[in-house]
């Protein structure tokens, strides 16, 4: 496109004087350089982002639960993603009424809790060769109970947690908002970073959260 424009302008230059020709050539050269620089900067930025994304994918596939690398995605890429986490995130954002354009970042944490306890009943003795195993479970919870001769009760609870942490920006009034909505239009506003924590397991409740941004 730029080359075609350059050819057309060069054809017209035949009818211009030498001074005008130099000025026109300088302007065209600057336009081409600026356009080329912007294109170079764009592809350089996309290349760096692709490298970061590849490193994040490799870290995720290494199955190190306590370590991870940040992905760098655009909103349109998030919308076009077909993986389970991205789809659930978009669904959660819709539930929380968070607009995609205000999204700053998000995190997904999947954890499991399990423990095995054995209780020996002092005043109870099961019949010889007694062995009972039963399990109560659903999508988020499993409880396994076992009775063993002579007096052992084994309890093994299991919980699964899937947590979405959504960070988004919203404009809020600096001073407390006025009651009359027209007056709120003229109040000074600033951007406030909000964090929503959505736990999908209905048996798990968050007691306290704190999120801090370090300002340099």
For the purposes of burial, counting CB atoms within 10 Å of the CB of 186, is it exposed (0-12), middle (13-18) or buried (19 or more)?
exposed
pLDDT tens digits, residue range 100-135? Answer: 889 999 899 989 999 988 877 777 666 777 777 889
Report the b/e string of 86-101 with b at 16+ CB within 10 A: beebeebbeeeebeee
188 within a domain of the structure (yes/no): no
* Residue 148 domain boundaries: 114-158
Q: What is the pTM (predicted TM-score) of this model?
A: 0.67
So what's the pLDDT on residue 3? 47
Shared domain check, 118 and 60:
no
So what's the pLDDT on residue 53? 75
So what's the pLDDT on residue 13? 53
2 within a domain of the structure (yes/no): yes
Shared domain check, 119 and 61:
no
Given 158, 187, 210, the domain boundary residue is: 158
57 within a domain of the structure (yes/no): yes
So what's the pLDDT on residue 5? 54
Q: Write the CA distances from 112 to 57, 135, 141, 191, integer angstroms.
A: 22, 17, 10, 36
Residue 190 in tokens:
């600033």
140 within a domain of the structure (yes/no): yes
**What is the overall mean pLDDT for the chain?**
80
Q: Walk along the chain (216 residues) in steps of 10 and give the mean pLDDT of each run.
A: 53 57 70 76 74 73 75 86 87 88 90 87 71 87 86 88 91 76 76 90 89 82
So what's the pLDDT on residue 211? 86
Count of domains forming the chain: 2
54 within a domain of the structure (yes/no): yes
201 within a domain of the structure (yes/no): no
So what's the pLDDT on residue 161? 93
So what's the pLDDT on residue 202? 92
154 within a domain of the structure (yes/no): yes
Strands (E), 11-151: 103-114, 117-120, 131-137, 141-148
Given 47, 65, 83, the domain boundary residue is: 65
Determine how β-strand 103-114 pairs with β-strand 117-120: unpaired
So what's the pLDDT on residue 42? 72
102 within a domain of the structure (yes/no): no
174 touches 190 (CB < 8 A): yes
Residue 111 in tokens:
């954890």
């Amino acid at each position: 496109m730029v080359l075609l424009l350059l050819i057309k302008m060069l054809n017209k230059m035949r009818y211009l004087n030498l001074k005008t020709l130099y000025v026109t050539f300088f302007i065209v050269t600057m336009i081409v350089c600026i356009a080329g620089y912007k294109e170079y900067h764009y592809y350089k930025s996309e290349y760096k982002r692709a490298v970061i994304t590849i490193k994040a994918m490799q870290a995720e596939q290494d199955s190190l639960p306590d370590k991870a690398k940040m992905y760098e995605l655009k909103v349109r890429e998030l919308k076009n993603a077909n993986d389970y986490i991205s789809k659930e995130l978009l669904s959660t954002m819709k539930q929380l009424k968070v607009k995609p354009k205000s999204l700053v970042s998000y995190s997904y944490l999947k954890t499991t809790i399990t423990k095995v306890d054995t209780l020996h009943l002092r005043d109870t003795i099961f019949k010889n060769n007694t062995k009972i195993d039963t399990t109560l479970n659903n999508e988020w919870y499993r409880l396994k109970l076992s009775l063993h001769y002579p007096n052992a009760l084994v309890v093994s609870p299991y919980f699964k947690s899937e947590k979405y942490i959504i960070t988004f920006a919203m404009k809020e009034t600096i001073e407390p908002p006025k009651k009359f909505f027209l007056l709120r239009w003229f109040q000074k506003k600033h951007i406030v970073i909000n964090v929503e924590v959505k736990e999908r397991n209905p048996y798990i409740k968050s007691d306290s959260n704190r999120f801090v941004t370090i300002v340099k």
